[in-house]
C-alpha cells in the first residue's frame, strides 16, 4: 500500500488510479497539491535557460522569422529583451536536476516506478503562450505551478494524424475538443494524460508556469535493438546456427519451412534468457538522460576517506539525474545505477534505492564501503551540500 497522504490524486488511492486511469484515460485532479506554492520563480527558469548544457526551447506564436518559431537555448539577455508580453512559451527540461525543491515533488509520484520517470519539464508562458494542439508519446502529469492554463483535450490520435506542414512544431491540423474536456487549471491542480491524447494548453490572463512530470517508455524498436546488442555480446562465438537434422533436397537454393522453423526455434531459445534480460533491462532503464552531467569527483574516494567522512557525520545522496533500480535474484541482488549493474545483497540494494540520504549506518551493511566508493567515483553519488547555489538571473524582472 502507498502512503495516501503524499499522493497527489485528490483522495483517490494509487490502486484505483492505476486500475482506471494510468495508460487508459485522462484525469483532472483539482487541488492535487493543496495550497501549492511554486518552488521555482520565472526568473530562475530564465536563468537556467541561459546555461550551457541545459535543454531549453522558446516557442513564439509570431517569431522574428515565422509563425510558431522554435529556438533552442542557451538563451541570453537579448533574447528575453525582445519578447513581448504575450504569446510565447519558454520550456526547460529536467528542472528536477537543477532545483532540489522541484526534485522534491517526485516523492509524491512513488506509486509509479522511478525508472519510468523521464524528468520534470517546466514551462513559463505569458498570456496567450502555448505550443499548439499536439500529442506526446509519454504519460504526463501536468501540474499548474502558478497562474492559470486552459487545457482542452481531444481524442487519442494515431501515428498518421495530419499535422500542420512547414512549421517547427508538430501541431495537429485537425484538433477537435471533446465537450466537457475543457478546464482552466489553477495552482495546485493537475491533469494526468496517457500517451497520444491530443491536448492544447493556453496560458490565461496572467503569467503561467506549468510542470510536466513526464514518464518515459522505450519504443519496441529501441528495446529490441538494445536487447539484441546486449545479448549478442554475451553469446559465445561458438554458439551458431546448427542443422544436424539436415535432410537431402533436390533444390539447393531453396530456403524451406523446415529451415525457417529451425531458425525461429534457435533464435527464440537464445532470446529467451530471463536472467540476462533482467540484467539488460535494469541497465537500460537506468541510463542517464544527460551523460555529460555525471561528474566524477576531482579527488577520488577510497574506503578509508569514505568511512572517515561518514563517521564525521557527512551524508551522501544520489547525484541529480542519477537513476537507480534493483532486482533480487534469490539471496543476492543486482543494483542498477546509471546504466551499470553491481552485485550486492538485497538489503544494500534496498537501502541504496530507498531513502535518498545515506548516513554512516549504511556501513553496517555487507559490501557497502566498496560499492559506495565505486558509485562516488563514477559521479552517481555525491556528498550532500557540495553543490553551488544557482545564479539568480533576473531575466523577467519588471522594468
Phi-psi category of 11—alpha, beta or left, where left has phi over 0 and alpha has psi -120 to 50? left
Q: Would you count residue 210 as binding ligand SIN (CB under 6 A)?
A: yes
* Cα–Cα dist 179/197, whole Å: 15
By the 8 A CB rule, do 297 and 377 touch? yes
For the sheet containing 340-344, what is the strand order?
324-329, 332-337, 340-344
> Comparing C-alpha atoms, which of 20, 392, 373, 25 is closest to residue 193?
25
Q: Which residue is nearest to ligand SIN (CB)?
A: 123
- Give me the least distance between CB of 134 and ligand SIN, in Å please: 7
CA distances for 151 relative to 182, 202, 321, angstroms: 6, 7, 29
Residue 191 binds: one of Co ion, ligand SIN, none (C-beta under 5 to 8 A by kind): none
- Give me the least distance between CB of 57 and ligand SIN, in Å please: 10
Q: How far is CA 286 from the centre of its chain?
A: 10
End-to-end CA distance of the chain: 51
- Give me the least distance between CB of 89 and ligand SIN, in Å please: 5
Looking at the Cβ atoms of 131 and 337, the one nearer to ligand SIN is: 131
In the structure grid, which three cell numbers stand for residue 277, read together?
Answer: 534480460
Binding mask 189-208 for ligand SIN (x = CB under 6 A): ----------x-x-------
- Give me the least distance between CB of 120 and ligand SIN, in Å please: 11
E-state strands within 93-175: 117-125, 139-146, 149-156
Q: Would you count residue 48 as binding ligand SIN (CB under 6 A)?
A: no
Site for ligand SIN in 135-154 (CB under 6 A): 136, 140
Looking at the Cβ atoms of 98 and 151, the one nearer to ligand SIN is: 151
By the 8 A CB rule, do 90 and 122 touch? no
Binding mask 99-128 for ligand SIN (x = CB under 6 A): ------------------------x-----
Looking at the Cβ atoms of 51 and 136, the one nearer to Co ion is: 136
Looking at the Cβ atoms of 195 and 297, the one nearer to ligand SIN is: 195
- Give me the least distance between CB of 94 and Co ion, in Å please: 16
* Cα–Cα dist 23/7, whole Å: 18
Phi-psi category of 176—alpha, beta or left, where left has phi over 0 and alpha has psi -120 to 50? beta
Residue 201 binds: one of Co ion, ligand SIN, none (C-beta under 5 to 8 A by kind): ligand SIN
Q: Would you count residue 51 as binding ligand SIN (CB under 6 A)?
A: no
- Give me the least distance between CB of 293 and ligand SIN, in Å please: 22
Kindly give the residue spans of alpha helices, DSSP state H, lying in the chain: 14-20, 42-49, 77-82, 95-98, 100-103, 220-234, 257-271, 274-285, 303-311, 346-353, 368-377
Q: What are the backbone dihedrals phi and psi of residue 160, each rounded to the nearest 5 degrees, phi first?
A: -100, 20
Looking at the Cβ atoms of 136 and 168, the one nearer to Co ion is: 136
- Give me the least distance between CB of 290 and Co ion, in Å please: 21
The residues facing 72 across adjacent strands are 57
Looking at the Cβ atoms of 196 and 356, the one nearer to Co ion is: 196
In the structure grid, which three cell numbers stand for residue 346, read together?
Answer: 538485497
Sole binder of ligand SIN in the list 9, 33, 38, 89 (CB under 6 A) = 89
E-state strands within 147-189: 149-156, 182-185
- Give me the least distance between CB of 126 and ligand SIN, in Å please: 12
- Residues lying near Co ion in the complex (CB under 5 A): 136
- Give me the least distance between CB of 240 and Co ion, in Å please: 47
| Chain residues that interact with ligand SIN, rule: CB under 6 A | 89, 123, 131, 136, 140, 199, 201, 210, 212
Amino acid at each position: 500500500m502507498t502512503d495516501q497522504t503524499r499522493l497527489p490524486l485528490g483522495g483517490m488511492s494509487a490502486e484505483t488510479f492505476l486500475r482506471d486511469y494510468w495508460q487508459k484515460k485522462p484525469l483532472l485532479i483539482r487541488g492535487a497539491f493543496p495550497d501549492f506554492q511554486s518552488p521555482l520563480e520565472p526568473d530562475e527558469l530564465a536563468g537556467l535557460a541561459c546555461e550551457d548544457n541545459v535543454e531549453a526551447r522558446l516557442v513564439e506564436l509570431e517569431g522574428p522569422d515565422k509563425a510558431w518559431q522554435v529556438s533552442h537555448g542557451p538563451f541570453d539577455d537579448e533574447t528575453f529583451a525582445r519578447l513581448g508580453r504575450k504569446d510565447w512559451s519558454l520550456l526547460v527540461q529536467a528542472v528536477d536536476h537543477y532545483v532540489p525543491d522541484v526534485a522534491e515533488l517526485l516523492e509524491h509520484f512513488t506509486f509509479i516506478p522511478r525508472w519510468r520517470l523521464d524528468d520534470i519539464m517546466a514551462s513559463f508562458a505569458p498570456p496567450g503562450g502555448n505550443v499548439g494542439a499536439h500529442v506526446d508519446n509519454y504519460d504526463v502529469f501536468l501540474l499548474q505551478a502558478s497562474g492559470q492554463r486552459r487545457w482542452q483535450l481531444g481524442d487519442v490520435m494515431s501515428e498518421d494524424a495530419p499535422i500542420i506542414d512547414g512549421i517547427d512544431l508538430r501541431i495537429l491540423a485537425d484538433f477537435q475538443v471533446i465537450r466537457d474536456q475543457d478546464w482552466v487549471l489553477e495552482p495546485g491542480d493537475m491533469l494526468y494524460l496517457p500517451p497520444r491524447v491530443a491536448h492544447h494548453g493556453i496560458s490565461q490572463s496572467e503569467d503561467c508556469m506549468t510542470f510536466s512530470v513526464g514518464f518515459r517508455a522505450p519504443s519496441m524498436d529501441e528495446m529490441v535493438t538494445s536487447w539484441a546488442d546486449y545479448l549478442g555480446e554475451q553469446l559465445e562465438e561458438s554458439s551458431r546456427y546448427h542443422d544436424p537434422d539436415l535432410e537431402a533436397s533436390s533444390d539447393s537454393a531453396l530456403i524451406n519451412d523446415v529451415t525457417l522453423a529451425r531458425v525461429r526455434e534457435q533464435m527464440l531459445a537464445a532470446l529467451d534468457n530471463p536472467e540476462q534480460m533482467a540484467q539488460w533491462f535494469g541497465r537500460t532503464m537506468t541510463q542517464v538522460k544527460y551523460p555529460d552531467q555525471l561528474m566524477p569527483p576531482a579527488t577520488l574516494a577510497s574506503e578509508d576517506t569514505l568511512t572517515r567522512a561518514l563517521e564525521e557525520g557527512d551524508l551522501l545522496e544520489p547525484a541529480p539525474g542519477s537513476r537507480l533500480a534493483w532486482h533480487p535474484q534469490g539471496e543476492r541482488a543486482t543494483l542498477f545505477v546509471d546504466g551499470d549493474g553491481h552485485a550486492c545483497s538485497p538489503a544494500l540494494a534496498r537501502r541504496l534505492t530507498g531513502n535518498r540520504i545515506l548516513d554512516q549506518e549504511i556501513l553496517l551493511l555487507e559490501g557497502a564501503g566498496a560499492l559506495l566508493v565505486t558509485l562516488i567515483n563514477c559521479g552517481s553519488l555525491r556528498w550532500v551540500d557540495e553543490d553551488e547555489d544557482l545564479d539568480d538571473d533576473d531575466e523577467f524582472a519588471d522594468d
